[in-house]
Amino acid sequence: MIDLLKAKKLIFLLVIVISSFLIITGCGRDSGADIQSAEDNSFIMNTLVQMRAHGENAEIAVEESMDRIREIEYLMSRTLEASEVSQINDNPGEFIEISEETQKVIAESLYFAELSSGKFDPSIGPIVDLWGIGTEEARVPSQAEIEEVLEFVDYNNLEIEDNRARVTKEGVKIDLGGIAKGYAADEVREIVKKHDVPSAFINIGGNVLVVGNNVDGSKWRIGIQDPRRGRGNVMAIVESKDQTIVTSGDYERYFEEDGEHYHHIFDPESGYPARTGLLSVTIITDLSLDADALSTIAYVKGLEAGMKFVEDIADVDAMFITEELDVHLSSGLTGIVEITGPDFNLIEGENFAD
């Protein structure tokens, strides 16, 4: 069984690597000059991490970045028993000493929980466990089971003080899966900058962040995945410099049963995968942690409420794709996103402001 899983994972990785080369390299020509380049593709934080950097210290920057992402996984993963998050979850009621990093990410997750009136909820753990999406045990739970665990889903049951954090009672579980990858991408940017590397690209399972321009001096051209066709199939291109482009979609982890599609972004109110008529939401902004939380929030809120929410935050833009394959852009993205998928319709001239 394990071998089969491993084999599956490898094939999966290979497919992603091949297809992402098409997306990314197809878009930037090497200038041919003797610029040092480095690249890595690894499976970390339960997802594929792809990084490329160009410049004198490219190699060390990539190496350190990958180590840093592993460190963050080691601190914040819910599946690693020794992680700080597991320590908190396994000791209800007890304040656990945690690192500054975990402290920061929990504090940010609580900030976004408040900001979204609980649409983003870092205490979603029991619901994630119950559905088991992305595991061999994925199944549709009964309404009674959902109600039973929903009682524990409330971010007010997480407390932080100084360098300690706790869950207030048995059954409450922190899950930072909707925000930690964004934090990791931001940390990679710090490492890249520390080494004065002028040009870098990182993709942590859909959390893309770019530093500077591509190696040939043109903007990075980031492919937005076709949410129906899986990795490597692009339906839009965004040109970007020094930004993060983060997508939450119903295709990242899911299973199907009786013709229904059950995915891994939950509405904390119902305990069901959010069903708002969306296939994906992409957020474009400066900080990847913000974009990670905001893409989850916008997805759970749906098009109208989600777009309004995003438009109210300065320097944050969004692209929503609906089940009808309509593409809706926030005001700052007009002319920035190029739709390349022939089945997608760009809806223009909308106003979500009021």
Per the annotation, binding residues for Mg(2+) are 178, 292, 296
Give the span between the Cα atoms of 156 and 273, in whole angstroms: 22
* Partner in contact with 310, chosen from Mg ion, ligand ADP, none, beta carbon below 5 to 8 Å by kind: none
Q: CB neighbours of 88 closer than 8 A, spacing ≥ 6? A: 96, 98, 165, 166, 167, 174
Pick from 178, 212, 227, 302: which binds Mg ion (CB under 5 A)?
Answer: 178
- Answer yes or no whether residue 206 interacts with ligand ADP by CB under 6 A: yes
Nearest-10 crossing angle of helices 180-194, 288-301: 160
DSSP secondary structure string, 93-158? Answer: T--EE--HHHHHHHHHHHHHHHHTTTSS-TT-HHHHHHH-TTSTT-----HHHHHHHHTT--GGGE
Question: For ligand ADP, what does the binding mask look like between residues 180 and 199, x meaning CB under 6 A?
Answer: -x------------------
| Binding-site residues | 178, 292, 296
- Answer yes or no whether residue 121 interacts with ligand ADP by CB under 6 A: yes
Give the span between the Cα atoms of 145 and 213, in whole angstroms: 50
Strand partners, 260: 257
- Nearest CA to 149 among 132, 168, 173? 173
- Nearest CA to 277 among 312, 328, 211? 328
Minimum distance from residue 140 beta carbon to ligand ADP (Å): 16
Pick from 195, 231, 264, 328: which binds ligand ADP (CB under 6 A)?
Answer: 264
- Answer yes or no whether residue 292 interacts with Mg ion by CB under 5 A: yes
Neighbours of 282 (CB within 10 A): 29
Minimum distance from residue 178 beta carbon to ligand ADP (Å): 3
- Answer yes or no whether residue 296 interacts with Mg ion by CB under 5 A: yes
Pick from 266, 309, 344, 352: which binds ligand ADP (CB under 6 A)?
Answer: 266
- Answer yes or no whether residue 177 interacts with ligand ADP by CB under 6 A: yes
- 89-117 residues labelled b (16+ CB within 10 A) or e (exposed): beebeeebebeebbbebbebbbebbeebe
Minimum distance from residue 111 beta carbon to ligand ADP (Å): 13
- Answer yes or no whether residue 268 interacts with ligand ADP by CB under 6 A: yes
Q: Which is nearer to Mg ion, 103 or 296 (CB)?
A: 296
Q: Which is nearer to ligand ADP, 20 or 248 (CB)?
A: 248
- What is the DSSP code (8-state) at residue 347? E
Which range of residues in 48-56, 156-164, 294-302, 308-316 is near ligand ADP by CB under 6 A? 294-302
- Answer yes or no whether residue 128 interacts with ligand ADP by CB under 6 A: yes
Minimum distance from residue 117 beta carbon to ligand ADP (Å): 12
- Nearest CA to 336 among 224, 231, 226? 224
Q: CB neighbours of 297 closer than 8 A, spacing ≥ 6? A: 112, 115, 116, 119, 120, 306, 309
Pick from 292, 298, 316, 318: which binds ligand ADP (CB under 6 A)?
Answer: 292
- Answer yes or no whether residue 149 interacts with ligand ADP by CB under 6 A: no
Find out whether 110 and 179 touch, Cβ atoms under 8 Å.
no
Judged by the rule CB under 5 A, the positions of this chain that interact with Mg ion are: 178, 292, 296
- In the complex, the residues that contact ligand ADP under the rule CB under 6 A are 120-122, 124, 128, 175, 177-178, 181, 205-206, 248, 252, 264-266, 268, 292, 295-296, 300
